Structure 1
Amino acid sequence: MQQKTTQTSNSPLEPLLAATRLKGRPVILDGGFGQLVADEYPELDQSGGMWVSGVAVRAPNIIRDAHRRYLEAGADIITTATYQASAGGYIAAGLATTEAEADALLTATVALAVEARAQFIQAQAEEGPHQRRPLIAVSLGSVGATLGDCSEYTGKFGQGLTMQDVYEFHLRRFSMLARCLDASELRGQIDLLAMETIPSAEEATAIVRALDELSLRDVVLPAAWIAFTTPVTNQTGLGEPIEDAVRAATSSPLVCAVGINCVPTHVVPELLANIARVSPVPVVCYPNGQTWQGSTNAWGDASTQVSPANYAKSAMEWAQNGALVVGGCCKTTPEHIRTLAETAAVANSCCAPHD
């Protein structure tokens, strides 16, 4: 399905989209991060409401290594380990005592992705002249991701939060991010802003409002994408029509893409069609690689995990049906992304014209 891209002429996605279109493949995003670290390093403390953002403070080498593994697997875009990050979160977790200290922690965590990319590019240069420069997207989750109550999946934030409160939360966090991106080690290094696991059109409206407000103040942030989460094919997690959520998200020229993440794979085809039908911007798609059992609040057994080969096959189908950026969320790994990249390369070579 052909996507209109009228709002993205100045987006860093455009050159990447153009390059991959020429090669006949989708843009490849990285895979799961927090769950990957939790599965591979169960001994690490991910408590305190910061999850992998806290691990980035206590064990930065693990985070930098995960970024490198996704780059080496073939990711065109990697996302930072900052999904739960906020000034209040760092302070509540005892990792910072002031906003300035929280800024320094966020800066250092984003810098891990920058360092990993620099190492990857250097390794490429040593191997030959054909280099690629992957993009870096700063990951920020729903306000619910900072509450520790899983409300990022439902949009029912509770705790007396109004949509004005949600707007002010995003405004403060975007302001924090802008300060961090002005640090010498990050200036000019970050390409995108990934607003992830957004459960409602309401929160998307608050996010867009905050982005627009900062733009009016001449505060410059990277172009953003907004990815919704939902367990069904036609509504947000809160229950609004998914088309309304897409319209809310794309109402600002500061939003360069829209899509879905942290959703079960079985809802993707129809959900993707509903989004692509109304989206004026490119569509991103990165679902989970395993079934979440809501009744037990745990992942299903190993039989519910999608193999890298099957995931890659599905991802190519998503790409053929409207998703211009494909990757993975929880319970996907570098091997899933490697297999996807290899599958995309094979599909391209098979479809290429022959003399």
Structure 2
Amino acid sequence: MRRPSFLVPDNFTLALIGTVVLASLLPCRGETAIAVNWLTNIAVGLLFFLHGAKLSREAVVAGATHWRLHALVLVSTFVMFPLLGLAMKPLLAPLVTPALYMGILFLCTLPSTVQSSIAFTSIARGNVPAAVCSASASSLIGIFVTPALVSLIVTNHAGASGSGWHTVGAIVMQLLVPFIAGQLLRPVIGPWLDRNRRILRFVDQGSILLVVYTAFSEAVNEGLWHHLSLGSLAGLFLVNALLLAAALGLTTFASKRLGFNREDQITIIFCGSKKSLASGIPMAKVIFASQAVGAVVLPLMLFHQMQLMVCAALAQRWAARDMHHEHPQETSVRAR
């Protein structure tokens, strides 16, 4: 029997694993590290510039009026997740190292994903315009809220050396300013980007791989793998699974209890239970000390792959259920 497609790692996941292996075996040092760091900063700025140029204002306006949905997604992203991270501390402490727990708390402060939230909502036949607006708003608000939450909970509860509020200016300059510039230039380059989406995907994935390589190079130089045991990595996997299950369960319960229709429930579940690798890794690079970034982003990298696999399975299941309800006879014939 063939394995379900959502269980097969995609090329980007394999590239992430390969980048971590490369950084572990051949970490960059000295002048090379400085050059790669500059290249990474340029790539991240270009990434957010292109995201700003790509985002359709019409799509945002179309979904912006659904304020109850957006409020619930933002509460799930920036309130529920941090509370889960703090409440689970007695359970997490025996399973992971203090550095990994700091990474889990940082993961809990991050905004939602944009591309995958919209894609899964579309596959499952949810409210796509609302997903575009909600996920995009989460990403923008996270530029300011994530540093504040890092200062409030990560520094105080995990002994982090990073200071969120002191790095807001750096995050604004590196992420928000390019994004706004892209929005302003959308009338000029937006149509070209719509025709050449592969360029955005290349910059998106390439910038993340560069940040992962530089972060893990610095962490390996500081002895990352000497301080992490197989037991800690296994504990991290379990912790991420529990966190994702709790987020999916709570967003499902809240969206049903508050009376949202099925399309809106799908949007809330996918936008409110996921965390952004594309925003998280650049933010970690700015907020935390360079030698700590590798351990901080490790929980996020694992959570990213887990959320993609689980949400892909859910989206396919819900889409198939809709098809069955709409065409029960056709579905029955195919099953035979």
**TM-score normalised per structure 1:** 0.26
Structure of larger gyration radius:
2
Q: Greater RCO between the two (CA within 8 Å, min separation 6)?
A: 2
Q: Using structure 2 for the length normalisation, give the TM-score.
A: 0.27
Greater strand content = 1
